[in-house]
C-alpha cells in the first residue's frame, strides 16, 4: 500500500491541472490542499504561471505568501474562477462536510464566489451517507450554551464546543465551533443545512451542498479524478 501522506501530496499536485494562467484561485485549507498551494507557487516560479489567490484561512495566507502567490481580497475582485479545497467527507452526490480545520465560514464564502470547486481528499473521506465525521457548526460566543442546546434538540444528538487545551477553539472570525455527533445519518443534507441555519447563534454550518464539481481522490491504487456529472467542470 502506498504511503497515505505521499498519495495526499500527489493528489494535491494533481488538482493543479485545473488551474490556468490568468485565473483567480481560491486557496483552501488543510493537510492535502497545502500541497496544492506549494505546487502552484512552484509553477509560478518555474513555469511562468500567472494567478492571484484568495486564501480561506490565516494559515493558508501565510503559506501562499511564503511560496510567492500574490493574494487579493475577495472584495477586490468579481468572483473566482476556481477554488481548490479539502473535505472531511463527501457522498455519492458530491455533497460535503467541511470544517475540521475550523475554517468553514471563510471556505464557504470563497466556494460560493467561485465558478467551480475542486476537492482534494483521500479515499477515507468517501462515504455513503454524511455524518460519521462530526458536523462542524460555527456559532457566536454569545450565549453559545443556548445555541448548543438548540442544535442538540434539532439534530437529536450530542453537540459539544470544540476545545483546544484549556479553552475553546476560536475561529479566524472570533467565533466557536460546535461539533454535532449525528452519526452517518444525514440523509438530506440540503434540508439539514436549511434547518440548522434557522437557529439564532449559528453563523454557518459545514455542509457544502451543490458546490463540488470534482474530487481528486488519493486511494490505495493511486490518484484518480472523479468529475461530478452535474457539475460545472470537464476534465
Interatomic CA distance for residues 110 and 98, integer angstroms: 13
Which ranges constitute the DSSP H helices of 48-98? Answer: 58-66
Report the alpha-carbon distance of residue 155 to residue 39 in Å, rounded: 40
The 3-state DSSP class for residue 176 equals strand
User: Cell triple for residue 8?
Assistant: 495526499
Question: How large is the C-alpha radius of gyration of the chain?
Answer: 17
Is 107 a known active-site residue?
yes
Burial string for 67-106 (b: 16+ CB within 10 Å, else e) reads eebeeeebeeeeebbbbbbbbbbbbeebbbbbbbbbbbbb
Q: Which of 14, 39, 107, 193 is catalytic?
A: 107
- What residues are labeled active site? 107
Amino acid at each position: 500500500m502506498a504511503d497515505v501522506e505521499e498519495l495526499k501530496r500527489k493528489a494535491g499536485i494533481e488538482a493543479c491541472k485545473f488551474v490556468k494562467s490568468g485565473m483567480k484561485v481560491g486557496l483552501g485549507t488543510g493537510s492535502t490542499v497545502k500541497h496544492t498551494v506549494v505546487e502552484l507557487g512552484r509553477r509560478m516560479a518555474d513555469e511562468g504561471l500567472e494567478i492571484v489567490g484568495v486564501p480561506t484561512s490565516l494559515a493558508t495566507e501565510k503559506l501562499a505568501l511564503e511560496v510567492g502567490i500574490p493574494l487579493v481580497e475577495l472584495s477586490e475582485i468579481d468572483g473566482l474562477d476556481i477554488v481548490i479545497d479539502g473535505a472531511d467527507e463527501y457522498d455519492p452526490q458530491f455533497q460535503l462536510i467541511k470544517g475540521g480545520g475550523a475554517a468553514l465560514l471563510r471556505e464557504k464564502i470563497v466556494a460560493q464566489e467561485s465558478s467551480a470547486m475542486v476537492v482534494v481528499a483521500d479515499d477515507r473521506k468517501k462515504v455513503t451517507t454524511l455524518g460519521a465525521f462530526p458536523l462542524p457548526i460555527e456559532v457566536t460566543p454569545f450565549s453559545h450554551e443556548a445555541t448548543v442546546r438548540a442544535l442538540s434538540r434539532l439534530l437529536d444528538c450530542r453537540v459539544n464546543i470544540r476545545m483546544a487545551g484549556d479553552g475553546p477553539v476560536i475561529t479566524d472570525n472570533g467565533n466557536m465551533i460546535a461539533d454535532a455527533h449525528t452519526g452517518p445519518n444525514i440523509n438530506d443534507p440540503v434540508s439539514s443545512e436549511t434547518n440548522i441555519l434557522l437557529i439564532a447563534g449559528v453563523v454557518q454550518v459545514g455542509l457544502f451542498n451543490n458546490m463540488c464539481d470534482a474530487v481528486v481522490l488519493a486511494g490505495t491504487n493511486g490518484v484518480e479524478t472523479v468529475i461530478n456529472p452535474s457539475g460545472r467542470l470537464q476534465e
